[in-house]
Structure 1
Amino acid sequence: MIAAASLLISWSVSALAADSDLEKIKQFDIPRQSADISLTEFAEQADITLIFSFDLAQEKTANRLVGSYRPDEAIRLLLQGTGLQPTFSSDGYINIAPDEDSVAEGDEMNRKQKAGLIAGLASLFTGPALHAQDSEQEALEEIVVLGSVSQSLAKQLDIKRNNTEFVDGLVAVDFAKFPDSNLGEALQRIPGIVVDRNDGGSQSNAIGEGSTINVRGLGPDFTRTEINGVTATNPGQQRGFGFNILASELFQSVVVQKSLSASDNEGGLAGTVTLNTYRPLSFDERVLTVSPRITHTELSEETSPSATVVYVDQFENDSVGIALVVNYSESSPQENSVNVANWDFLADSMRGNFALLTPAEQAQFEDVRIPRDPRLLVNSREQERINVAFTLEADVSDNFSIAWDHLYADLDHSGRQTRNDWPIEGFPATFLPPDIQVNGNQFVSGTFPAASHILRILDYEYDVQSSVYQTILTGEWNASDRLLVTPRLGYSKAEEDFEWNDFDVRSANTDIFYEFDGQFVTATPAIGAVDDPSLYTNVARIRNRPDIDEDQEFSFDLDFDLA
C-alpha cells in the first residue's frame, strides 16, 4: 500500500512568517500545470511557507496565475476549482487540504490524506510524539531531513516521485527556526521519534538535554546509527548512540529508516539513522554562513556562547569541491528541585513491628503510604562541545566520483550534584509515630523515632571527556546505464574518560517530624535545622570511580546497485 504523505515547503528565512506577509502585494507568474509544481513555485515567489499533501496535489491541475496579488488572494485563484482549499494559520503558514465539499462527496482517499496531514502538523509543531504505525504497511518507511532550501525541495519531489514507499520530507531550514541544543533535540521533530531526555538526578547526565532516541516505541539499543554510510561508534558503555555530542548544523541530511529491509545491516531492529555531511558538488555556488548565538541561563546566572561556520566551494569547473563545517558551543545548565523519591507502604517500613499493632491499628494503617526519601537537589553542569566536519569531493570522470569525509566531535562536561535528604527507609525497622495523622490512605504528618532516622548529604562530582573521530573514503562508479558500484572504506573511533567521586556525610540519629502539605514534604529534626552544616559529622562513604572506554571499527563495503 502507498500511504498519503504531507510536504512542507518553506521559502522564508525568518523564524515564523508574520500575518502581514499575507497582505503584501507580490508578483506571480505561474503557468497552468500540476498542482504540486504550482504550489512549489507559489511558495518561492510569495516567500511563504506552504504545507500540503504531495500525493493529493499531484493528482490536481492548478490554474494559471499571472499578475500582482496579495498571497491570500493569489492562492485562492491558483486553486479555484481544484477541490483544494487554503487555510491560514496565525503564524503565517498556509495549509492546503481538500475542501469540505470534496470530502462530503465520498472521496475517502482525500479524507485519509487530510487526517494524515493534521497528524503530521501536530507532531511537527507541538514537539515529540509517538505515532502508531500501520502494521499492515509492507513498504519501507523513511523520513528525510534535507539541507539547502532549493535543492531540498527538488530532492523531496524526486524522492516522492521515484519511490513507491512511504516517504516524508522536511526542509532543513525549519530546524534553524528552533534553538536545538544538539542533533538529538532536532531529531525529535520527526514523527515516530521520541527523544530520551537525560534525567538531572543522574550524576553524569545533562539536565533535561536530549541525548538518545526511541524509534516507534523501541529504546536506543534497538536503533542503528550511521555517519556517511559507516557505523557510528559511541563513546561510553551504552549501545544506543548519544546524539548530544553532535550539533544538528553539522549535517546536510538525515535519513531515518523505520522498518527493515533485506539490505540492512544488523543492529537496527527499531530503525536506522543515517547522518550525511555536506556534499559540496550538490551546491551550485559558493556558500559561507556564520551563525552566532548567545544563551543566558537565569538559574546558574551564566551566559554561554555558541557559533557555527559553514563553508562550501567548488573548483576546476565544478568538478572538485570542499565543505567545512565548524561548530563550537558552551552551556551551563542548572537544576534546583524539591521532590520525594518514592511513596512506600508504612507497613513495609515498619517491617516486623507492624505485627505488634492491634488489629484495629493494622486495619487503619495497612494501606497508608509514607514519603520514603524527601530531598533537596541542586544539580549543575559545565559543558563545552567542538564539532568539525570536512569533505573533499571530486568528479574524476563522467562515470566515476570520489568523496573523502572527516568528522571530529569532542564533548567535555563536568558537574556536581548535591542532595540533602531525610530518608524514611525503615532500616532498621521503624515504629508507628505516636502523633501520626492521616487522611484516608494519605500520610499528613508524624514524628518518626531516632532509632532509624538521620539527615544526609550526598555529593557527586564528575568529569567526562568524550570524543568521536571518523574518516571515510567513498567512490561511485557508473559501470553502465544500469549498474552502479559503490566501494566504501571507513574508520571510526570513540573514546570516553569518565571519573566520578561520591561523598556521603550523615548526622547522628534523631527524631524527625515530617509534614506533607499536598505538594511538598518538610522535615523538622529534633537536633536542629536541616541546613546546619555542623550536624553532619559522620562520614559514611567516599568513593572514586574512574573509567576509560575506547571503541574503534574498520569497515569496507562494496555495493552493487542494478537498476
Structure 2
Amino acid sequence: MTMPTSLRPNVRRGVSAIALGLAMTAILPGAAMAQDADPAGADDAAVDGAIVVTGIRGAINNSVQAKKANTSIVEVVSAEDIGKLPDLSIAESLSRLPGLATQRLDGRANVVSIRGLAPDFTTTLLNGREQVSASNNRGVELDQYPSELLNGAVVYKTPDASLIGQALGGTIDMRTVRPLAYGKRAIAVGARFEMNDLGKLNPDISDKGYRANISYIDQNADGTLGWAIGYARMQSPTAEERFNAWGYPELTDGTNTAFLIGGAKPYVKSNELKRDGVMAVVEWEPSDTFHTTIDGYWSKFKDVQRLRGIELPLAWGNSTLLPGFTIENGLVTKGTWSGTEAVMRNDIVHRDSTIIAGGWNTKFKPNERLTLELDLGYSRLKKTEENLEIYLGTGRGAGVGARETALGFEMRPNGGIILNPSLDYADPNLFLITDPQGWNSCGGAVPNCQDGFVNTPKIKDELKSLRLQATQEFDGPISSLRVGANYSDRKKSLDDRGFVLTSNDYPANTAVPADYLFDPISLDFIGIPGMVAFDSWRYYNDGNYTLTDEAGWTPGRIFNDYTIREKVLTGFVQANFDADAGDTPIRGNVGIQIVHSDQTGSSFYAQVVGGVTQSTPVTDGATYTDILPSLNLSIEFADNSFLRFGAARMLARARMDQLKPGGGVNFDSSRRNNTDIDASPWSLELGNAKLRPLMADTLDVSIEKYFGQGAYVSLGGFYKYLENYIYRQDDAFDFTGFEVPDGGTVATYEGIAKQWRNGNGGRVYGAEGALSLPFATFSGALDGFGVLASGSYTKSSVREGGAAPISMPGLSRWVVNGTAYFEKAGFQARVSGRYRSKFLAEVSGLSLVRDKVMAKSEFVVDAQIGYTFQSGTLEGLGILLQASNLTNEPFVTYYNNDPRQIRDYQNYGRNFMAGITYKF
C-alpha cells in the first residue's frame, strides 16, 4: 500500500509526538541520576523472585498481557493504580488505541469511532452489560464516566458468540475494580486544580476548576468477602472562541460565480462541567464453588454554559455586498456589507443527566467441570436540557433600527472571519431587548414577537437484562462448551419542546436594566472590541418573558418526539478449543448467536391545517431473527508470536431517530391540480419502525510478536462487507386521510415520501499497526524509557443508491497515535499525540437533529510530569502536572468540501492541571 504524497506530512504530525516526548524526558532533572541510583527501578518490587511493575509501565504491561491472553483481537487499556487511568477521561484513553478515534465536544473527547465506523455502530458495556446513552441515539457519551472510578477497558474488534452487545465497529467493555482480585487493602485520594489559558471569557463562569476523588478497597481476613467504593467529583472549566457560518450561497454576475458567506454567528462560550460519580462493588466467594458480585454505578453530570456573541445576517439576510470585493479561487474572501442588522445573543445552556447502572452476577460450580452463571443488569438515564436564547437588537422587526453602513470583513486563511464594524456593539442604549429580525410571529397571531427562544428536550433511556449460561469443561482439544441466553428490554424516548420568548413589554423595545448589566465582553477574535453582556439567566428567571409553545404551529416539534422499545432474546453456543498441531499451539473459539428482536416505535404524523398543528399518533414495528456465527483463531507459530484470525457476521441496530414511524406532512398548494405523483402537492419525510439492523460479514487477521515485559509489535488488516445500509429512499405514499391544509380541492392524494429504508451497502476495510517498546528491552541503561505507537488506514466504499461512494460518518482515512514516557525511581513523564485525518462529523443541530459536516484533520498533544515519594513520611504521596491540548488544536468543520468555507471554527485553548495523589 503506497501512502499518497499529500498525506505524508499529515501522518508525520501524528508520529512527531514520539520525538517530542523523548526530548522532554531526556531533559528531566534527575533522570540520569535516577538511572545510576537504582538500575533495577525503585518502583519495582520483587515478589517471589518475580519483578512486579507498577505505574505507567505496570499499566502498559497489564494491557499487553491481557491482549496477548485473549483469543479475540482486542485492545486493552489498564489503570496505573487505583483511581489512575492514563488520561483525564476514559474516552481519551480509548482514543490512543489502534484503530480508535474520538470526536471532541467543548474541547473534550466525547464519543468514539472504531475502525472508521461512527459511535452509533459501537456498543459500550460496563462490566459486560450494555449501557444506555445520553445522546438521542445509541452512541454512548463516554465523558459521563469518571476515569477515576474505572479500572480499565477492553475493546473487542472481533466478537465471540458469548459477547452480548457486539456491534459493527466494535464493543467497548469498561471495567471497575474487583476487590478480591485486587487482593489487598488500599485507600487512594487525589485532587487536581485546573485552569484554561483562554481566561475568563464570560463574567459569570469561572476559568478555574478542580477534580477530587477517593477510593477504598478492602477484604476480610479470610479473603472471602471484599468491597470497594469510590467517589469522584469534577468541576472543570472549558472555554471556546467560536466562529459559526450559516452557509455559503453562490454569488453570480451572470457569467462568473463564487461562494459567499450567508451569515455568521461568532461568540465566546464558557462551560462549567460538574460531575459527581460513585462506584461500589461487593464481592463474596465463600468457597471454590460459589462466587457472587454486586456492583453499582451512579453519575450526575451538569453542564452550565454561557454563550455571548452577535449573529449577522449577510447574504441570506438584509445585507448588501458593496462593490470592490475580492474573489480568490471561487470564494469571496474580502469585502464590505451594508444594511446588516445584527442579532446580539446572551445565551444559556443547562444540561443535566443522571445515569444509574449496576448488576448482580452469581457463579455456581456444582462440580469441578461445570459452571452455572446468572447475571442481572440495569442501566437508566434521564437527561434534560434548557437551551435559552436571549436577543438584543436596535429595533423590532427586520429593517427597523440602526444598521451597519459599512461592515468590513476578511475571511481568515486558517478559519473564521475578521470584522470591521461601524456600530458600537458595547452600547446598552443602542442594543435593546427586542426581536431584531422578526424570525417568528407566534403562529401568525403576533408579529415580530420572538425576543428569545428556549429549547427543552428531554431524554429517557432504560435497559434491563437477564443472562443465564452454563460452561462445561472438557479434556482434549475442545476445552469447554458454553451455552446460554440473554434477554434485554430497552425503552428510549425523546420529548422535544420549544418555546418562543416574548418580552412582557412587547411591542416596546426594552433597555437592559442597569442592575443586570455586566461590563462589555470582548469579541476581539473576530475584530469586535466589545458587546453588551448581561445576566440573562437571572433576567429570564425573574419573569420578564411570556412563553408560547412552538408546537402549536410547527409540526417538527411534534414528530421529533419518539418512543422506541426493543426486546431482544439472544441464544448462544460457543466451543472453546486449546490444542496443538504438532508443536504449534492453537487456541480459539467457534460459535453462533441466534438473535430474536421485537422492536416497536411510536411517534406522530403532524401537519399544519389552518395555521394550527394537527397530530396523529402512529405506532409500528417488526419482529425478526438474525443468525450470527463467529470464529476466532490464535496460532502461536513461534515462541510468543501469534497469527490471529477472526470471522464473524455482525449487526448494528438502526439509529433511534430513524426508527420513529412518524413524520411531517407538507402540502404545496401551487401543485394542487397536478395528477403526476412526481409533481404531487403532497410530500413527507418519515422514519421507519420496520428497519432491520445493518448486517456485515467481517474478516480480521493479525500478526503479533511479544518480547520482554510490556513489549509487542502487531500488524493486521480487516474487511467488512456491509450487506445493507440505511438511507432515505423515495416511495409512493397514500395521503388519504390527511386534510388539505387550506380547505381547497386537490387532484390526487398520492405523493412521495422520503423514508429511511434498508438499501445496498458496501465495504469498509483497512490496516492497523501497533508498537509497545520499553527501551530496557535493548539496554539496562535505558530502563524507564519507552514508546507506544499505532497507526491505522481505513477506507470505505458504500453507496446510498447512487454511483459515487458516500463519506461514512466518523471515518478518518488515517489515525496515528504516539506516546513517549519515562518512569523510574518515582519520577514519571509522558507526552502523547493523536492525529486523525479529515472525517464526516455528526454534530447536534436544532432539536438534537443530526447534522453531518466534514471536519478538518486534527493533531492533539497532551503531556504530564510527576513524582511519587518512594519512602519516608511522604511515602505514597504523588505530585502531578498535566496539560491537555498543548498544540491548541481547534475543531473545524466546513461546507462544500472546501476547508475555506468554514461552518464551525472552535478554539478551545489549553487546559493546565496541578494535583496531588496519596495512596496508603
Which of 331, 345, 353 is equivalent to 2:236?
A: 331
Alpha-carbon distance, 1:26 to partner: 4.0
CA contact (8 A) 2:292 2:360 kept: yes
Query: What's the counterpart of residue 53 of structure 1?
Result: none
Equivalent-residue separation in structure 2 for 1:48 and 1:415 (angstroms) = 36
Query: What's the counterpart of residue 446 of structure 1?
Result: 335
Cα deviations across residues 34-55 of structure 1 (Å, max 9, x unaligned)? xxx9xx96784xx8977xxxxx
Measured at CA, do residues 405 and 376 of structure 1 come closer, stay the same or move farther in structure 2, by a change above 3 Å? same
Which of 414, 420, 428 is equivalent to 2:304?
A: 414
Equivalent-residue separation in structure 2 for 1:388 and 1:328 (angstroms) = 9
Query: What's the counterpart of residue 471 of structure 2?
Result: 561
Alpha-carbon distance, 1:368 to partner: 2.6
Query: What's the counterpart of residue 190 of structure 1?
Result: 97
Alpha-carbon distance, 1:382 to partner: 1.7
Which of 369, 372, 378 is equivalent to 1:485?
A: 372
Q: Which residue identity does 2:322 align to in structure 1?
A: P
CA contact (8 A) 2:75 2:97 kept: no
Alpha-carbon distance, 1:153 to partner: 4.5
Alpha-carbon distance, 1:495 to partner: 1.0
Is 2:188 the counterpart of 1:289?
yes
Query: What's the counterpart of residue 261 of structure 1?
Result: 160
Query: What's the counterpart of residue 445 of structure 2?
Result: none
Is 2:406 the counterpart of 1:516?
no
Equivalent-residue separation in structure 1 for 2:316 and 2:327 (angstroms) = 19
- Pairing of 1:419-430 with structure 2 (within 5 A): 419-427=309-317
Q: Which residue identity does 1:24 align to in structure 2?
A: D
Query: What's the counterpart of residue 435 of structure 1?
Result: 324
- Pairing of 1:44-193 with structure 2 (within 5 A): 44=53, 149=58, 153=61, 157=65, 160=68, 162-173=69-80, 180-193=87-100
Question: Which one has a larger percent strand, Structure 1 or Structure 2?
Answer: 2
3-state SS of paired residue (1:24): helix
Is 2:225 the counterpart of 1:314?
no
Cα deviations across residues 283-313 of structure 1 (Å, max 9, x unaligned)? 2321111111111234125331211111110
Equivalent-residue separation in structure 1 for 2:244 and 2:135 (angstroms) = 29
CA contact (8 A) 1:184 1:210 kept: yes
Cα deviations across residues 188-214 of structure 1 (Å, max 9, x unaligned)? 12222111211xxxxxxxx21111111
Q: Which residue identity does 1:548 align to in structure 2?
A: K
Question: Which one has a larger percent helix, Structure 1 or Structure 2?
Answer: 1
3-state SS of paired residue (2:281): strand
Cα deviations across residues 212-260 of structure 1 (Å, max 9, x unaligned)? 1111111111111111222212235232111111111211231111233
Equivalent-residue separation in structure 1 for 2:66 and 2:101 (angstroms) = 28
Q: Which runs of 5+ in 2 are unaligned?
A: 1-23, 201-205, 439-449, 473-479, 481-920
Which of 111, 115, 133 is equivalent to 1:216?
A: 115
Query: What's the counterpart of residue 141 of structure 2?
Result: 242
Which of 256, 269, 273 is equivalent to 2:172?
A: 273
Measured at CA, do residues 174 and 258 of structure 1 come closer, stay the same or move farther in structure 2, by a change above 3 Å? farther
Query: What's the counterpart of residue 254 of structure 2?
Result: 362
Equivalent-residue separation in structure 2 for 1:471 and 1:337 (angstroms) = 39
Aligned residues: 411
Q: Which residue identity does 1:172 align to in structure 2?
A: A
Query: What's the counterpart of residue 381 of structure 2?
Result: 494
CA contact (8 A) 2:85 2:152 kept: no
CA contact (8 A) 2:354 2:382 kept: yes
Query: What's the counterpart of residue 110 of structure 1?
Result: none
After superposition, the CA RMSD in angstroms is 3.4
Query: What's the counterpart of residue 529 of structure 1?
Result: 424
Alpha-carbon distance, 1:376 to partner: 3.0
Measured at CA, do residues 167 and 219 of structure 1 come closer, stay the same or move farther in structure 2, by a change above 3 Å? closer
Query: What's the counterpart of residue 385 of structure 1?
Result: 275
Equivalent-residue separation in structure 2 for 1:530 and 1:494 (angstroms) = 42
Is 2:363 the counterpart of 1:476?
yes
Query: What's the counterpart of residue 455 of structure 2?
Result: 545
Measured at CA, do residues 513 and 154 of structure 1 come closer, stay the same or move farther in structure 2, by a change above 3 Å? closer
Equivalent-residue separation in structure 2 for 1:393 and 1:529 (angstroms) = 66
Equivalent-residue separation in structure 1 for 2:185 and 2:380 (angstroms) = 31
Q: Which residue identity does 2:410 align to in structure 1?
A: F
Cα deviations across residues 369-415 of structure 1 (Å, max 9, x unaligned)? 33333443111112211111111101132211101111111111211
**More divergent stretch after superposition (532-541 vs 470-479):** 532-541
Equivalent-residue separation in structure 1 for 2:273 and 2:25 (angstroms) = 30
Equivalent-residue separation in structure 2 for 1:216 and 1:398 (angstroms) = 41
Equivalent-residue separation in structure 1 for 2:70 and 2:224 (angstroms) = 29
TM-score by length of 2: 0.41
Q: Which residue identity does 2:311 align to in structure 1?
A: D
Query: What's the counterpart of residue 465 of structure 1?
Result: 352
Q: Which residue identity does 1:223 align to in structure 2?
A: T
CA contact (8 A) 1:408 1:467 kept: yes
Which of 249, 258, 266 is equivalent to 1:376?
A: 266
Equivalent-residue separation in structure 1 for 2:314 and 2:124 (angstroms) = 44
Equivalent-residue separation in structure 1 for 2:185 and 2:81 (angstroms) = 22
CA contact (8 A) 1:339 1:376 kept: yes
Equivalent-residue separation in structure 2 for 1:381 and 1:156 (angstroms) = 37
Q: Which residue identity does 1:185 align to in structure 2?
A: E
TM-score by length of 1: 0.65
**More divergent stretch after superposition (544-553 vs 395-404):** 544-553
CA contact (8 A) 2:207 2:237 kept: yes
Equivalent-residue separation in structure 2 for 1:311 and 1:247 (angstroms) = 16
CA contact (8 A) 1:329 1:386 kept: yes
Q: Whose RCO is larger (CA < 8 A, sep 6+)?
A: 2
3-state SS of paired residue (1:282): helix
CA contact (8 A) 1:467 1:494 kept: yes
CA contact (8 A) 2:78 2:153 kept: no
CA contact (8 A) 1:43 1:49 kept: no
Alpha-carbon distance, 1:548 to partner: 2.9
3-state SS of paired residue (1:371): coil
Query: What's the counterpart of residue 877 of structure 2?
Result: none
CA contact (8 A) 1:473 1:489 kept: yes
Cα deviations across residues 13-68 of structure 1 (Å, max 9, x unaligned)? xx969541673154669xxxxxxx9xx96784xx8977xxxxxxxxxxxxxxxxxx
Query: What's the counterpart of residue 302 of structure 1?
Result: 207
Query: What's the counterpart of residue 125 of structure 2?
Result: 226
CA contact (8 A) 1:455 1:530 kept: no
Alpha-carbon distance, 1:276 to partner: 1.6
Measured at CA, do residues 172 and 235 of structure 1 come closer, stay the same or move farther in structure 2, by a change above 3 Å? same
CA contact (8 A) 1:409 1:467 kept: yes
Measured at CA, do residues 370 and 235 of structure 1 come closer, stay the same or move farther in structure 2, by a change above 3 Å? closer
Q: Which runs of 5+ in 1 are unaligned?
A: 1-14, 30-36, 51-148, 199-206, 348-360
3-state SS of paired residue (1:173): coil
